[in-house]
Copies of this chain bind each other. A is one copy, B any other.
Amino acid sequence: IGITSLLANGVYTSAYPLHDGDIDGVTAEPNDRKLLFEEWASYSVFYKYQPIGLIRKYFGEKVGLYFAWLGVYTQMLIPAAIVGVIVFLYGCATVDDNIPSMEICDPRNNITMCPLCDSACSYWKLETACGTARASHLFDNPATVFFSIFMALWAVLFMEHWKRRQMRLNYVWDLTDYGMEEEDHNRAEYELRVAEKTMRQDQGAAKVGLRLEMVISDDSWLSLVCLPPSFQIFITFVITFGVILYRISIKTALHLSTYPAARSNIRATVKTTAAIINVIVIIILDEIYASIARWLTTLEVPKTDKSFEERLIFKTFILKFVNAFTPIVYLAFFRGRLVGRPGKYLYVVGSYRMEECAHAGCLMELCIQLCITMLGKQLIQNNLFEIGIPKLKKLLRKRKSELTSKQEEELHKTLKRYEKDHVLGPFVGINPEYMEMIIQFGMVTLFVASFPLAPLFALLNNIIEIRLDAKKFVLELRRPIAAKVKDIGIWYNLLRGLSKVAVIVNAFVIAFTSDFVPRLVYQYTYSPDGTMHGFVNHTLSYFNVSDFQNGTEPNPPNFNVKVCRYKDYREPPWSNTPYELSKEFWAILAVRLAFVIVFQNVVMLMSDFVDWLIPDIPKDISFQIHKEKLLMLDHFMKEEGRRRDNHNHDGYTSPSSGSASPHSRPTFHARAGW
Hey, which bits of chain A sit against chain B, CB under 8 A? 177, 180-181, 504, 582-583, 586-587, 589-590, 593-594, 596-597, 600-601, 625-626, 629-630, 633, 636, 639, 643, 646-647, 650, 662-663, 665, 674
Contact = CB atoms under 8 A, between A and B. Distances in A.
Given A589-B586, A629-B177, A662 B636 contact: no
B590 A636 contact: no
Contacts of A582: 583
Contact of A596 (B586, B597, B662): B597
A405 to B, nearest CB: 55
A636 B586 contact: no
B663 A650 contact: yes
Nearest to A661: B650
Contacts of A594: 593
24 contacts: A177-B629, A180-B625, A180-B626, A180-B629, A181-B629, A181-B633, A582-B583, A583-B583, A586-B586, A586-B587, A586-B590, A589-B590, A590-B590, A590-B593, A593-B593, A593-B594, A593-B596, A597-B600, A600-B600, A633-B674, A639-B639, A643-B662, A643-B665, A650-B662
Contacts of A674: 633, 636
A537 to B, nearest CB: 20
A629 B181 CA distance: 7
A-B complex: 7 closest residue pairs judged by Cβ atoms: A586-B586, A593-B593, A589-B590, A590-B590, A583-B583, A586-B587, A646-B662
Contacts of A583: 582-583, 586
A650 B593 CA distance: 81
A610 to B, nearest CB: 15
A423 to B, nearest CB: 42
A515 to B, nearest CB: 18
A599 to B, nearest CB: 11
Nearest to A622: B180
A343 to B, nearest CB: 21
Nearest to A646: B662
A496 to B, nearest CB: 10
Given A593-B596, A600-B600, A650-B663, 13 more contacts: A181-B626, A181-B630, A181-B633, A504-B601, A582-B583, A583-B583, A586-B587, A586-B589, A589-B590, A596-B597, A643-B662, A646-B662, A650-B662
Contacts of A630: 181
Contacts of A180: 625-626, 629
A633 B636 CA distance: 12
A5 to B, nearest CB: 27
A639 B596 CA distance: 63
A582 B582 CA distance: 10
A304 to B, nearest CB: 15
